[in-house]
Structure 1
Amino acid sequence: MASAERRPPARDTRSAVDKAMALLAAFGDESILGVGVSELARRADLSKSTAFRLLGMLQRSGAVERAGNAYRLGPLIQQLSSSQEFTQQNVLRDTLTPFLADLYELTGQTVHLGALHGTDVVYLNKLYGHLQVRSPSRIGGRAPAYCTGVGKMLLAYDADAAEKVMSSELPAWTPHTITSPDALAVELAQIRSTSLAYDREEILLGLTCIAGPVLGPDGRPVAAFSISGPTGKFVPDEQATILRKVCYAASRAVAAAHSQQQKLRRMRQAQAAELAGKKTDLEEPEEA
């Protein structure tokens, strides 16, 4: 009996836009940590060469970005999906950038301002120091919180985000990256006791940093500052006192800004109530 004739694979009739959308949807819950090209191609039912070409186009538009040998969703998608949080981050950046400048002036090192977004840290601002060192951070960019100083500082006070991080895979960016959930839990507890966090070449070899919290009115961090420099030349603990002083001043500014916002909100509510009362008086019919 003759063997059945092999049929050629069905032609993919999806448009380029449909294929790109399938790639974006393929990230799933790993949109922050990143997914390799081969795995994205498999999930989107595309050839690896087609997936690689489309990812290049999406990267140029900011829809995706490289994360080591993998890809993750880029700033364009993040901004479109979180406009309210993006606005809040802008307020934080505007309030805290003067203190970031103070930190730079006092240390002469590269300094960062970061906030937590899910299980990722987003860099709201960055000033470069005199000791140049290659760094994966950029303004508006993101990095996994568990392997950065600012990220670990913020994870230490966000139980939900920390639990989500520790219940998922922790890929090693360098040989020094903490990849054990138990080890990360111990480090986060230490951060809570000292209010200082460190990145000891955990996201990039040759890069070391120290981070401190900027507290909100409820006493919980809303952002974090970090000071970084090249390993061997930069001694993070020498910057701890300066970092604490700037973080304290920045926290007072955040509290003052929050108080002012609350005062303005109460004034608007009072004015609205007064206007509503006057309108009701005008609309009341006269007694017969």
Structure 2
Amino acid sequence: MPVTAFSPEHADPPHSGGPSPEPEQQTAVDKALILLKSLAEHDRDVGVSELARRARLTKSTAFRLLGILQRNELVERVGSNYRLGTQLVDIGSRVYGPTPPLLQERLLPHLADLYELTHETVHLAVLHGTEIVYVNKIHGHRAARSPSRIGARLPAYCTGVGKALLAFDHDAAEGAIEAGLPARTEYTLADPDRFRAELRRIRQEGIAYDRQEAAIGLTCVAVPVMGPLGRPVAALSVAGADHRFDTSRYAGALRRVAHEAARAVTAAKARGAVPSGGGGLPRA
């Protein structure tokens, strides 16, 4: 089957939380949640007609529910379009308890440093089970199309940040392998032996790559941010369009920034500002 580039505009409506009820069984809450999920799939503001189509609702129903969500600050209206609201962002930041905001606070300045050094799209991510969660993202005018969004999850095995973290977490890596390594593109490392060999290389060299493995046309280079217990608490990456992106150009900047970030996490732990687990998300 041919593999195409990631395109949120043509993706099916998301059902990551399990199968949605049949249309005739949907409550108003179901429909509102489907609208929120549809909005989350876009990196742009979306009109009510498109949202209604993606959520398989009538335009009048979508408009009425969006009004309710807007009153509760879960969505914002921008002209005739909609986007996720600030209240939803605040709720999302509390999903895994107090640790992620602390980690983000400590590492955000280093992510900003990385962007200033590269002027490419940069990510901060943490491991949750066999998935990665994007804690933060900064991009400039040359941002490549990417499935990464703040708060979004992706399988760890096919991303640079994910492999940088799995390389130092044997249980999570084996869990990912046991769950299967479905090829998201023709370049995904779907063979368990090759994948384990790649993780060994990452442990030795301290740097990971995503060579169009999560999405066609997207390449990135990533490094772990090591915590005081000798295990990574997060990962940083630089990403760009494959046709112009030279991963070797950014390896040095990534290593330097990750080293400074690790020092900041260790110092914060010594002051009691970061929980003893290092600041990452709890295991799934």
Residue 59 of structure 1, aligned match among 34, 46, 51: 34
Residue 121 of structure 2, aligned match among 110, 116, 137: 110
Aligned residues: 217
1:183 shift after superposition: 1.6
Structure 2 residue 194 is the aligned partner of structure 1 residue 183: yes
1:224 aligned partner: 235
1:258 aligned partner: 269
1:64 shift after superposition: 11
Q: 2:123, 2:134 within 8 Å by CA — same for their partners in 1?
A: yes
Structure 1 residue runs without a partner (length 5+): 1-26, 67-75, 266-288
1:263 shift after superposition: 11
Q: 1:106, 1:242 within 8 Å by CA — same for their partners in 2?
A: yes
Residue 169 of structure 2, aligned match among 155, 158, 165: 158
Matches within 5 A, 1:107-256: 107-256=118-267
Letter in 2 for 1:155: L
Instruction: Compute the TM-score of the two structures, normalised by the length of structure 1.
Output: 0.66
Q: 1:174, 1:205 within 8 Å by CA — same for their partners in 2?
A: yes
Which shifted more, 168-177 or 250-259? 168-177
Structure 2 residue runs without a partner (length 5+): 1-14, 42-86, 277-284
Identical pairs, percent = 46
| Residues 227-261 of structure 1, C-alpha deviations (whole Å, 9 max, x = no match) | 00000211011111111000000000000000000
Q: After TM superposition, what 4+ stretches of structure 1 lie above 4 angstroms from structure 2?
A: 46-51, 53-57, 62-66, 79-84, 262-265
Letter in 2 for 1:117: H
Residues 184 and 56 (structure 1), Cα distance of their counterparts in 2 relative to 1, 3 Å cut: farther
| Residues 129-180 of structure 1, C-alpha deviations (whole Å, 9 max, x = no match) | 3322101001111111011100111111111111110101222211111212
Q: 2:93, 2:101 within 8 Å by CA — same for their partners in 1?
A: no
1:86 shift after superposition: 3.8
Letter in 2 for 1:184: F
Instruction: Compute the TM-score of the two structures, normalised by the length of structure 2.
Output: 0.67
Partner of 1:100, secondary structure, is helix
Q: 2:92, 2:151 within 8 Å by CA — same for their partners in 1?
A: no
Which shifted more, 104-113 or 163-172? 163-172
1:49 shift after superposition: 7.9
1:90 aligned partner: 101
Look at both structures and tell me which one has the larger radius of gyration over its CA atoms: 1
1:56 shift after superposition: 5.9
Residues 228 and 82 (structure 1), Cα distance of their counterparts in 2 relative to 1, 3 Å cut: closer
Letter in 2 for 1:260: R
